[in-house]
Structure 1
Amino acid sequence: MDIQGYCAPGYEALYDAFASNFRDHGDTGASFCAVLRGEIVASLWAGSADRDGARPFEEHTLTNVFSSSKGVLALIALQQVAAGRLDLDLPVAHYWPEFAAAGKQDITGRQLLCHRSGVIAFREKVADDLIYDWEAALRQVAATEPWWTPGSRQGYAPFLYGWTLGGLIEKASGLSLMSLYCEGVAEPLALDGGFGAVGHRSTSIADVGPLKKPLPELRDNAIGRSIKEDRQGPVATAFTNPVTLMMGTNGASWRGALIPAANGHFSARDLATIYGDLASEAPALLPADLLRTSIEEQSRGQDAILQAEVAFACGFIRSGEAQDLYFGSPAGFGHPGAGGSIGFADPLAEVGFGYVTSRMGQSLFMDQRAVGLMQCLYRLL
């Protein structure tokens, strides 16, 4: 495998760690980037961006990072707090009156951010094309009944998170989510990607598909077992209503839509740049004092949907003890995405980390590919 890119002196071992993902773990197109104290110490890419091997994977190639999108969405919400437009402890309905329907009148923005709202899936079967219509999705989520009493338990919202939080951001700011992303995140950091796969600086888009040979799991697949045991239950419904949430990810409709919990298309360099800024002592994207309080633990427990012990800050997952949720140090925070992509910040080491892949593993957290790169990087620090 011809590895392209750059490693700073002293970080050359990352070449082989990245190459081993292709040699041993099934990668066919991927990129990796690490930022240390504001400087890129590694930016590597290799393979092809399409299934036929006709288009090379490049540094600016955008890959659907699925739930790694959620960290970027949370950042935009926190920027509205910084601007005085949004108070996380007010009810969402204060800004978005329609959201009060079906017993949601007391749900706060903070509860949305740390997955304690109970709004984890559409209750009714919805049309397959609903997810491609932003305004229709907002209306549907505003009418949706929570699955349990809001605030009573932690339950991850795989897809509705994007419409609940995204809708709140737009209602509170009076501005479109895309304009807020462009002006508040993409332009200051000169990022290549964003939500969806159109309208960004890069036009190189990777096709995603499953790994040809599954990786050994770093944890028991409790989510898959729960889905099989109860096809109508909250776990299955959260991931499959509608089925286009799982089936349409290479299509033009998916790439052209705004599905901010799941269709962010970023490069590894994009993610490392974002989290490198958030790992710094003087971040450009958020006031330092707001960032410090926002990354404090807000909720911890056996998550009703993820079927795992997870700790949430305001929109970010906190570093945990499990290997697939350990983000550099106990102070780390970030967000993995289904299939293996990950972006995280480690304020102790001032590290920003990004890895994206077009070959999806079966985990919703990190798998051996990102873990191996992280472990190699930290041996070199």
Structure 2
Amino acid sequence: MEIYGLCAPGFEALYDAFAKNFRECGDTGAAFAVRQHGELICSLWAGSADRDAERPFTEDTLANVFSSSKGILALLAMQQVAAGNLDLDRPVADYWPEFARGKDSVTARQLLCHRSGLVAFRGRVKDSLIYDWQAACDEVARTEPWWAPGTQQGYAPFLYGWSLGGVIERVAQKPLLELYREMLAKPLDLDGGFGANGHKSQRIADVSPLKQPLPELRENAIGRAIKEDRKGPVSMAFSNPVSLMMGTNSSEWRGALIPAANGHFSARDLAAVYGDLSKDSPDTLPIEWVKEAAREQSCGRDKVLQAEVSFGCGFIRSSNAADLRFGGPEGFGHPGAGGSVGFADPECGLGLGYVTTRLGQSLFMDRRAVGLVETLYGLL
């Protein structure tokens, strides 16, 4: 496998770690990028962007990063907080009256740190719903929480995007995609965005499962919870509708706005976003609000993820677990289903991004990203 890109002097070992993912861990198309103190110190890419190996994977190839999208959405929300348009502790219904049904006390902070109870649609919804932004937002507004808001932590895999995105649009008085291009894509010169159309890069990678699953870093407790209660919040959060788990290479998925899960970004994009947030004076968000976003807002065994997780405002905070270790204790970011990840480590002034076309089954980072991160920190 031919590896393309660059490593700054002293970081050449990252080349070997990246190549190892292709030799031993099943990668067939992937990219890895790191910024430190604003400078690009690593950008590597290799493989193909399609299943037939006819299109090469390039530095600006966009891969579906699934829940890594949530960190980008959270940043857009925090920008509205910094601008004075959104109060973290004011009820969402004050900005979005239709949202009040059973959740009139839910605040923006609770949405961001997954304490709203709004984790899944209650009744079965049509498969096509997720491709209709307005219809999905309306359905979220009508949905009652699964438990009393504020009482428990429960990750919202998909509803997070429509609930938070709906609030952002109302306080900014702009469509979410327009706001993203204005506030993030242009200032940071990003290749991709939510969905996969109309962005700087038109190089879209197809995703598919790893041919040989990697050894798990932790038990798949979500799968067990789904089997135990097919109508419970965990099962409904991931499979209602079933189109949430299917068709991620389809034109419908790529053309829709599903901001919790269908962000299409390059590794260079994720490194740019988190590299900016790791600086002493970020360009995208005042430092006091970066610190608030990274500060622990909720921590405990998550009722949906079935794991111990610490959340800031939309970001997962670094922990001692290898698959959630985002550098030092001040690190924060967001992994995505299948293996992608982006994170910031303010202590080292570092932003990192990894994207792949081969989807693993780990809950958070898998051995590919963990190996790259451990190699990187062994060089710092």
TM range (shorter): over 0.9
TM-aligned CA deviation for residue 93 of structure 1: 0.3
Aligned equivalent of 1:19 = 19
TM-aligned CA deviation for residue 231 of structure 1: 1.1
SS of aligned partner of 2:44: strand
Determine whether 1:86 maps to 2:90: no
Aligned equivalent of 1:239 = 238
Determine whether 1:274 maps to 2:276: no
Is the 2:90–2:108 Cα contact (8 Å) retained in structure 1?
A: yes
Aligned equivalent of 1:57 = 57
User: Structure 2 matches for 1:126-165, cutoff 5 A?
Assistant: 126-165=125-164
- In 1, Cα distance between the equivalents of 2:292 and 2:7? 34
- In 1, Cα distance between the equivalents of 2:353 and 2:280? 19
Determine whether 1:10 maps to 2:10: yes
* 1:11-69 Cα shifts (integer Å, max 9, x gaps): 11111000000000000000000111110111000000000000000000000000000
Aligned equivalent of 2:360 = 361
SS of aligned partner of 1:147: coil
Determine whether 1:265 maps to 2:250: no
TM-aligned CA deviation for residue 293 of structure 1: 1.8
Determine whether 1:189 maps to 2:188: yes
Is the 2:297–2:310 Cα contact (8 Å) retained in structure 1?
A: yes
SS of aligned partner of 1:199: coil
* 1:79-138 Cα shifts (integer Å, max 9, x gaps): 00111111111000000000001x110000000000000000000100000000000001
- In 2, Cα distance between the equivalents of 1:130 and 1:294? 31
User: Structure 2 matches for 1:213-252, cutoff 5 A?
Assistant: 213-252=212-251
SS of aligned partner of 1:277: helix
- In 2, Cα distance between the equivalents of 1:291 and 1:359? 32
TM-aligned CA deviation for residue 171 of structure 1: 1.1
- In 2, Cα distance between the equivalents of 1:7 and 1:30? 16
Matching residue's letter, 1:288: I
* 1:291-332 Cα shifts (integer Å, max 9, x gaps): 112210000000000000000000000001111011011110
- In 1, Cα distance between the equivalents of 2:89 and 2:169? 17
- In 1, Cα distance between the equivalents of 2:110 and 2:272? 27
- In 1, Cα distance between the equivalents of 2:240 and 2:3? 39
Aligned equivalent of 1:37 = 37
Q: Which runs of 5+ in 2 are unaligned?
A: none
Aligned equivalent of 1:68 = 68
SS of aligned partner of 2:281: coil
Aligned equivalent of 1:176 = 175
- In 2, Cα distance between the equivalents of 1:2 and 1:225? 40
TM-aligned CA deviation for residue 174 of structure 1: 1.0
- In 2, Cα distance between the equivalents of 1:9 and 1:226? 47
- In 2, Cα distance between the equivalents of 1:363 and 1:159? 18
Matching residue's letter, 1:118: G
SS of aligned partner of 1:22: helix
Matching residue's letter, 1:59: E
- In 2, Cα distance between the equivalents of 1:74 and 1:174? 17
* 1:136-160 Cα shifts (integer Å, max 9, x gaps): 0011000001000000000000000
- In 2, Cα distance between the equivalents of 1:91 and 1:217? 40
Aligned equivalent of 2:306 = 307
- In 2, Cα distance between the equivalents of 1:82 and 1:4? 39
Count of residue correspondences? 380
TM-aligned CA deviation for residue 364 of structure 1: 2.6
TM-aligned CA deviation for residue 363 of structure 1: 1.3
- In 1, Cα distance between the equivalents of 2:227 and 2:137? 29
Aligned equivalent of 2:100 = 100
Matching residue's letter, 1:5: G
Matching residue's letter, 1:327: F
SS of aligned partner of 1:192: coil
- In 1, Cα distance between the equivalents of 2:94 and 2:25? 49
Q: Which runs of 5+ in 1 are unaligned?
A: none
Instruction: Output the aligned Cα RMSD.
Output: 0.5
User: Structure 2 matches for 1:284-363, cutoff 5 A?
Assistant: 284-363=283-362
Matching residue's letter, 2:275: G
